[in-house]
């Protein structure tokens, strides 16, 4: 081979080598760009939580009187779950269950538990995991879950978010009167103050006075997760509505010219001859007086009007939110999830309050809107048995983030994408808030056709006795009724472990949900349904053990005594 040919081949091989290198660089560069693109294409997530919001208090769930066009549109664009339930029908444990995707029997935090979620357990909450996986996170509104040593005063929760505009405990209708963080807002009413926070979070520059944040805006290379938590239509807020001159017209006149229907099985207090539950199980006379509005028709109608006004206010915020997302070209890649922490009685069978396992308490509206879901799954209603513990794994699935082994909920993404298949055959609900205010401990298991509820001995001291004693000895009433001391930890632990270890039920209920969705006819003592009762007892025995799990509860002591040792005074929230 002559010299010219050798030079030619050498140059050719060199050119081919350079081309291969360029191709490899191109491939790897494209892979990097694709990976970066995929990370920035992860959806934004907005989670909206209302408080004491009954399933039937939306237009899309069948209420023909209430005005909720924006939430109805959200349901029409997404999916409405018609059989969605909480795990515990009272604020703190329900909200902790949403954060941690655990039943209360596993996470171990309630008003009467004497505990706080440990900082370690909090690390597995959905907002912390999303933040660790590249999300810019914001929290707006009400927090009612104590986190870390010192609970509400620990600062753990505030430090867990990139943007914080929230208050611990109830916000009331006029939050500035209770929480300093909101005093820089232009508005005075709760929904409108939270709307300012939402607008500020989504803006190009965070300017809202009082809001805490580490950056001045959402980084353009990060998806975001914003949690909006209302204290409405909860009675702590609706009972403090004053119809002030500066209030939006919604809260002054809307619905006041309408005939307000009462619930189908409403029963005034004076007409109760046979209580729904035995008097030694539910101590109804010890019920908190904040629920006395159910005792007569006039007060109940006034509260229903206020609840509807509040929900319409929330609906306006949802409309503003979707408009802002569209204006900022964020609407095509933002998931919106809407639900409530529990329902509430409006005098059905003479009952008031919550913290029981009836449908009125546990069933909640749940809407999930995914703009990129298949068209076939838009505007559908799913009857699958889902629970609020399913929301955290659903959000993490959207974010392609790892789901902790401690989670007990199931991702709902398949249903959202049009595959309407069961995530569970049975759901479990419970009440462990059993105190001097009269509510019994109870648990329920249900499928789509049958529901079984069991109750335990209610040996709590009477609230009225405590009130009389406080007056007699001039003891602070709030301290007498709401303060937790160390012995309460042991009492609460016995509530959790007793049924698992064989504590007998003192009363049982069995309902044919298919034919008696309002739970009016208890079939537990009907011989014709003895086999079904035994079958559901077996289901309960298995399900409660699954709900409890095998791990110790990851909590820290949080009582008046623990905080006195740390020289801090606990204010009951």
Question: Does 34 have pLDDT greater than 60?
Answer: no
Q: How far apart are CA 483 and CA 219, in angstroms?
A: 43
> Which residues are CB-neighbours of 537 under 8 A, at least 6 positions away?
452, 454
φ/ψ of 54, rounded to 5, equals -65, 155
Residues 6+ apart with CB under 8 A from 136: 162, 163, 215, 218, 219, 222, 223, 224, 225
Judge whether residue 15 has pLDDT over 70: no
Determine the Cα–Cα distance for residues 186 and 310; give it in Å rounded to an integer.
Answer: 19
Say yes or no to pLDDT of 40 above 70: no
Strand residues in 21-143 grouped as ranges (E)? 44-50, 79-81, 84-85, 115-117, 136-143
Contact 344, 360 (CB under 8 A): yes
- pLDDT, one tens digit per residue, over 183-234 is 999 999 999 999 999 999 999 899 999 999 989 999 999 999 999 999 999 9
The predicted model scores a pTM of 0.92
Alpha-carbon span 429 to 88, nearest angstrom: 6
Question: Sheet harboring 427-431: ordered strands across?
Answer: 427-431, 442-446, 450-455, 507-512
Cα gap 508→442, rounded to integer Å:
9
pLDDT tens by residue, 461-475: 999 999 999 999 999
C-alpha span between 486 and 563 (Å, rounded):
11
- Chain segment 385-432, per-residue pLDDT in tens: 999 999 999 999 999 999 999 999 999 999 999 999 999 999 999 999
Compute the mean pLDDT over every residue in the chain, rounded to the nearest whole number: 93
Per-residue model confidence (pLDDT) at position 28: 39
Q: Give the DSSP H or E segment for 18.
A: helix 3-40
pLDDT tens readout for residues 468-504: 999 999 999 999 999 999 999 999 999 999 999 999 9
- The alpha carbon dihedral of 143, 145, 147, 149 has a sign of positive
């Amino acid at each position: 081979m002559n010299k010219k040919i050798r030079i030619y081949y050498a140059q050719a091989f060199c050119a081919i080598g350079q081309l291969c290198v360029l191709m490899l660089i191109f491939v790897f560069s494209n892979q990097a760009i694709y990976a970066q693109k995929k990370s920035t294409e992860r959806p934004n997530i907005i989670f909206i939580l209302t408080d004491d919001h009954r399933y039937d208090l939306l237009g899309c769930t069948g209420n023909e009187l209430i005005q909720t066009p924006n939430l109805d549109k959200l349901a029409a664009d997404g999916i409405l779950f018609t059989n969605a339930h909480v795990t515990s029908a009272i604020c703190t444990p329900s909200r902790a269950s949403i954060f941690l995707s655990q039943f209360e029997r596993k996470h171990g935090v309630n008003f009467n538990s004497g505990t706080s979620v440990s900082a370690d357990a909090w690390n597995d909450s959905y907002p912390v995991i999303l933040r660790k996986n590249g999300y810019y996170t914001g929290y707006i509104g009400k927090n009612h879950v104590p986190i870390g040593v010192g609970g509400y005063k620990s600062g753990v929760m505030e430090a867990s978010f990139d943007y914080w505009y929230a208050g611990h405990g109830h916000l009331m209708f006029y939050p500035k009167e209770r929480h300093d963080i909101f005093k820089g807002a232009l508005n005075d009413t709760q929904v409108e103050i939270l709307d300012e926070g939402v607008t500020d979070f989504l803006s190009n520059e965070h300017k809202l006075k009082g809001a805490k944040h580490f950056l001045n805006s959402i980084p353009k290379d990060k998806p975001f997760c914003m949690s909006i938590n209302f204290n409405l239509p909860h009675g702590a807020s609706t009972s403090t509505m004053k119809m002030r001159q500066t209030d939006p017209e919604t809260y002054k006149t809307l619905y006041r010219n309408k005939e307000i229907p009462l619930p189908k099985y409403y029963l005034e207090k004076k007409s109760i001859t046979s209580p729904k539950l035995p008097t030694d199980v539910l101590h109804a006379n010890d019920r908190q007086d904040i629920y006395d509005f159910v005792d007569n028709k006039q007060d109940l109608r006034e509260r229903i009007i206020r609840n509807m006004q509040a929900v319409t206010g929330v609906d306006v915020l949802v409309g503003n939110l979707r408009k802002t997302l569209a204006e900022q070209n964020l609407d095509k890649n933002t998931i919106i999830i809407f639900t409530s922490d529990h329902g509430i009685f409006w005098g059905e069978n003479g009952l008031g309050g919550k913290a029981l396992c009836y449908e009125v308490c546990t069933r909640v509206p749940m809407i999930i809107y995914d703009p990129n879901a298949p068209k076939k799954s838009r505007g559908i209603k799913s009857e699958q048995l889902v629970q609020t513990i399913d929301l955290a794994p659903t959000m993490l699935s959207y974010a392609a983030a790892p789901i902790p082994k401690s989670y007990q909920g199931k991702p709902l993404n398949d249903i959202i994408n049009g595959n309407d298949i069961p995530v569970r055959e049975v759901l479990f609900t419970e009440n462990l808030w059993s105190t001097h205010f009269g509510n019994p401990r109870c648990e329920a298991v249900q499928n789509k056709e049958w529901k079984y509820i069991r109750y335990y001995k209610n040996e709590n001291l009477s609230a009225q006795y405590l009130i009389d004693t406080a007056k007699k000895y001039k003891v602070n009433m709030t301290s007498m009724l709401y303060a937790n001391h160390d012995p309460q930890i042991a009492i609460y632990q016995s509530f959790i472990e007793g049924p698992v270890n064989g504590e007998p039920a003192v009363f049982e209920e069995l309902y044919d949900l298919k034919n008696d969705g309002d739970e009016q006819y208890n079939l537990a003592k009907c011989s014709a349904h003895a086999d079904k009762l035994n079958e559901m007892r077996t289901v309960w025995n298995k399900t409660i053990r699954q709900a409890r799990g095998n791990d110790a509860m990851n909590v820290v002591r949080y009582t008046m005594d623990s905080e006195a040792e740390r020289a801090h005074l606990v204010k009951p929230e």
